[in-house]
Amino acid sequence: MIVGTGGTTGKPKGVLLTGTNLETMTALTLMSYPFPTHGARPVYLALAPLTHAAGVLCFPVLASGGEIVIMRSPDVGRFLELVPAHGVTHTFLPPTLIYMVLAHPDLDTTDLSSLQCFWYGAAPMSPTRLVEALERIGPMAQLFGQTEAPMMISVLPPDEHRRSDGSIATEVLSSAGRPSPLVTVAVMAKDGTLLPSGERGEIVVRSSLVMAGYYKNPEATEEASRFGWHHTGDIGYLDESGLLFIVDRAKDMIITGGFNVYSTEVEQAILAHHAIQDCAVIGLPDEKWGERVVAVVQPHSGEHVDPAELTAFVKERIGSVKAPKQVEVWPDLPRSKVGKVLKTDIKARFT
């Protein structure tokens, strides 16, 4: 199949996925996450478009003889109605839509007890909001992948979100889980050197999960497979225990006053504020700083956001260098059909 990349950082490319890629992804999903046993069949609710993550997650469900419930548009209220109505066991949402679920007035009165595996991914999720989701929704399950290596580069199943005593394992919530069984993950410097645990570089992958290449684009295919590894374009590190941490997309890093600022870190600090539903952090040209950190925030319904107070809130958590120099309050953020915030569109509005 040929699948389009998300297009959040540039023009979409066609990704050539083989039968082996999809079989590997399906096998990894069935290995890594809970599925019904003893003849029971999974029920999967697809809210995000089937052309991306929500679609390929249908394959392991179909391989188990499961049922797919398809929503035609991202209606969070309807989503909450369908889970108990169909006894949904599995579903997937990107963080931005999970934030909408958490903000919905019907959440706490909805019976979500049938859920066994609520996947989140496609973008970093706020650990603060993840704790809230674990308490109010139930068994959350992270996956990290990309169109070029679908879904299962690393995994964090529901049971690893909690310690043996049942308490929430807050120490792992900011990670992307552990490399999945059929995938080799490493962190690479720009010269192709593989880096030791704790050092930051580009996350690279070897696996039968990795695409055959980009459609009619040999230059991009060669660039993505330098040094014999697939290059994800994500900056991160592996800790001593083997957990993978994603710091930022390489293209989203901001250089301000000579310092590297990772937009994801600033976004996580902002999302810890009670008034913020969602946000995006970008770098814009600045005569003094080279680039200035700009935060665009979407408040919860009925909440007022004071830009100066929010900036002080972020400074207290991560320091003044990383705090936004400019805060804009918008009623909504531009999103792709998959639910990802489109930073290219946000930058375009400013420029």
CATH of the domain at 96: 3.40.50.980
**Which of 179, 201, 231 marks a domain boundary?**
179
Q: Are residues 42 and 155 in the same domain?
A: yes
Looking at residue 313, what is its pLDDT? Answer: 96
Overall average pLDDT of the 197-213 stretch: 97
Overall average pLDDT of the 317-343 stretch: 89
**Residue 242 domain-assigned?**
no
Overall average pLDDT of the 290-300 stretch: 94
**Residue 239 domain-assigned?**
no
**Residue 231 domain-assigned?**
no
Which CATH number goes with the domain that contains 293? 3.30.300.30
- Each residue's pLDDT tens digit, 207-254: 999 999 999 999 999 999 999 999 999 999 999 999 999 988 878 889
DSSP letters, 241-295, are TS-EEEEEEGGG-EEETTEEE-HHHHHHHHHTSTTEEEEEEEEEEETTTEEEEEE
Q: Are residues 27 and 172 in the same domain?
A: yes
Q: Give 107 or 341, the one with higher predicted confidence.
A: 107
Q: Pick the range with the lowest mean pLDDT from 123-127, 195-199, 319-323.
A: 123-127
**Which of 122, 153, 179 marks a domain boundary?**
179
- Phi and psi at residue 28, to the nearest 5°: -65, -40
Q: Confidence class of residue 312 from pLDDT cuts 50, 70 and 90?
A: very high
E strand segments, the chain: 2-4, 14-16, 43-46, 67-70, 90-93, 117-120, 140-146, 149-156, 178-179, 183-188, 201-207, 213-214, 230-238, 244-249, 254-256, 259-261, 276-286, 290-299, 326-329
Burial class (CB in 10 A: 0-12, 13-18, 19+), 71: middle
Q: Are residues 71 and 175 in the same domain?
A: yes
The answer to whether the CB of 48 falls within 8 A of the CB of 74 is yes
Overall average pLDDT of the 22-37 stretch: 93
Q: What residue numbers bound the domain in which 287 lies? A: 253-350
**Residue 243 domain-assigned?**
no
Partners of residue 230 on adjacent β-strands: 205
7 pLDDT higher than 70: no
Partners of residue 248 on adjacent β-strands: 235
**Which of 148, 163, 179 marks a domain boundary?**
179
Find all residues with CB under 8 Å of 327, minimum gap 6, and list them: 294, 295, 296, 297, 305, 307, 310, 311
Overall average pLDDT of the 187-200 stretch: 96
Looking at residue 9, what is its pLDDT? Answer: 56
Q: Are residues 12 and 120 in the same domain?
A: yes
Q: Confidence class of residue 8 from pLDDT cuts 50, 70 and 90?
A: low
Q: Which two tokens stand for residue 130?
A: 């993840």
**Residue 133 domain-assigned?**
yes
Helix (H) or strand (E) holding 339: none
* Percentage of the chain lying above the pLDDT 70 cut: 98
- Each residue's pLDDT tens digit, 40-96: 899 999 987 788 788 899 999 999 999 999 998 878 999 999 999 999 999 999 888
**Residue 258 domain-assigned?**
yes
197 pLDDT higher than 60: yes
Q: Confidence class of residue 1 from pLDDT cuts 50, 70 and 90?
A: very high
Q: Are residues 167 and 283 in the same domain?
A: no
Q: Are residues 39 and 151 in the same domain?
A: yes
Q: Are residues 274 and 174 in the same domain?
A: no
140 pLDDT higher than 70: yes
Model pTM greater than 0.75? yes
**Residue 83 domain-assigned?**
yes
> What is the overall mean pLDDT for the chain?
92
Domain total for the chain? Answer: 2
Q: Are residues 263 and 166 in the same domain?
A: no
